[in-house]
Amino acid sequence: MLIAVLFTEPINGATSWFDLKVFNLQPAEFEKIFTILTLALLICKIKSKGRNEINKPLKLLSILCVTAVPLLLIIKQPDYGTAAAYIVATVLMIFVAGIDKRYIIGCVIIIAIAVPVVYNFVLPEHAKTRINVFLNPDSDPRGAGYNVIQSKLAIGAGGLTGMGILKGNQTQLGFLYPKTTDFIFSVIGEEMGFIISATVIILNIVLITKAIYISKTAKDDLGSYIAMGIAGIFIFHTVQNIGMTMGLLPITGVPLPFISYGGSSLFTNFILIGILINISGRRQKAIFVE
């Protein structure tokens, strides 16, 4: 499906959806489930041969390849935000599996070197623009920086209790787009205020914390890795979506779990929660690697 979607008509500049007339289907969302399950199973099989097998370069490479295949296809769409969610989930799963610290240090060094190289020679112009606007939104207030400026105005205008449902100036008068998906948190901030916005953040933190707790107390390694991968997905989507509406992170098309409009995202999140509940119902003891 990730290959086939590349040959569809672009929507908002990305070939990420199948237009089924009744609704649009986004394969990258559902692929999260299969990638997490496959990664968890592979890690378990590798570790069954020895506790330190995962730290062997070829074994680790085979794990990374599982993520690399869908990752490259999603980047091709292009959908950098969703692709980043896969990276976060994979990193957390490998960390819980007991990856050696030397790999972590090596990755940090590689990233430090790669970031300027990727920015200057790999990223397309629109991606560079988003980063530049993130660093200085006022450099293009009527162009690339418009949405983030309007988003911050909307959140700030809400005050403590908000301007009232369907009474927000920025959101209801068409100054902020898209208000039902990427910038849904801005709508909440403007129309419902700080109290409800803080409640949304707290509820997401509770969800993430519970997912991590389920991973920590899972009955077996497989359940632990799956739960941590799911936690990684929720962590990234929550932090990225809320962060970009506040101007703290670059803007990407990442939905806020269970709140942003989008059937594929909502259905995927429900499946992930169902898997978490299944793991939770079987948990007995903590198995984190020492």
- Distance, in Å, from the CA atom of 12 to the CA atom of 189, rounded to the nearest integer, reads 26
pLDDT at residue 262, rounded to an integer: 83
- Distance, in Å, from the CA atom of 224 to the CA atom of 276, rounded to the nearest integer, reads 10
Decide if 240 contacts 249 (C-beta within 8 A): yes
Question: Could you list the residue range(s) of the whole structural domain that residue 274 is in?
Answer: 4-282
Number of domains in the chain: 1
Q: Which of 10-24, 72-86, 149-163, 209-223 has the lowest mean pLDDT?
A: 10-24
pLDDT at residue 288, rounded to an integer: 52
Region 172-185: mean pLDDT is 85
pLDDT at residue 69, rounded to an integer: 93
Tell me, yes or no, whether 75 lies in a domain: yes
Structure tokens at 232: 């990684």
pLDDT at residue 213, rounded to an integer: 94
> Beta partners for 24?
19
Highest-scoring range by mean pLDDT, 8-17, 113-122, 209-218: 209-218
Q: How many CB atoms lie within 10 A of CB 28?
A: 26
Tell me, yes or no, whether 287 lies in a domain: no
The pTM of the full predicted model, rounded to 2 decimals, is: 0.87
pLDDT at residue 31, rounded to an integer: 93
pLDDT at residue 259, rounded to an integer: 92
Contacts for 246 with CB less than 8 Å, ≥ 6 apart: 151, 152, 155
Which has more pLDDT, 180 or 130? 180
Q: Return the percentage of the chain with pLDDT > 70, whole number.
A: 97
Closest CA to 25 of 274, 272, 270, 266: 266
Decide if 158 contacts 189 (C-beta within 8 A): yes
pLDDT at residue 51, rounded to an integer: 76
pLDDT at residue 135, rounded to an integer: 79
pLDDT at residue 284, rounded to an integer: 55
pLDDT per residue as tens digits for the range 228-275: 999 999 999 999 999 999 988 888 878 999 999 888 999 999 999 999
Residue type, position 28, single letter: A
Q: Which of 131-140, 190-199, 211-220, 234-243 has the lowest mean pLDDT?
A: 131-140
Highest-scoring range by mean pLDDT, 34-43, 100-109, 145-154: 34-43
**pLDDT band at residue 167 using 50, 70 and 90 as cut-offs:** confident
pLDDT at residue 71, rounded to an integer: 92
Tell me, yes or no, whether 249 lies in a domain: yes
Decide if 79 contacts 17 (C-beta within 8 A): no
- Distance, in Å, from the CA atom of 133 to the CA atom of 198, rounded to the nearest integer, reads 26
Instruction: Indicate the average pLDDT of the chain.
Output: 87
Tell me, yes or no, whether 289 lies in a domain: no
Tell me, yes or no, whether 290 lies in a domain: no
> Beta partners for 18?
25
Closest CA to 178 of 98, 245, 232, 112: 245
Tell me, yes or no, whether 288 lies in a domain: no
pLDDT at residue 28, rounded to an integer: 92
Tell me, yes or no, whether 277 lies in a domain: yes
Tell me, yes or no, whether 264 lies in a domain: yes
pLDDT at residue 36, rounded to an integer: 95
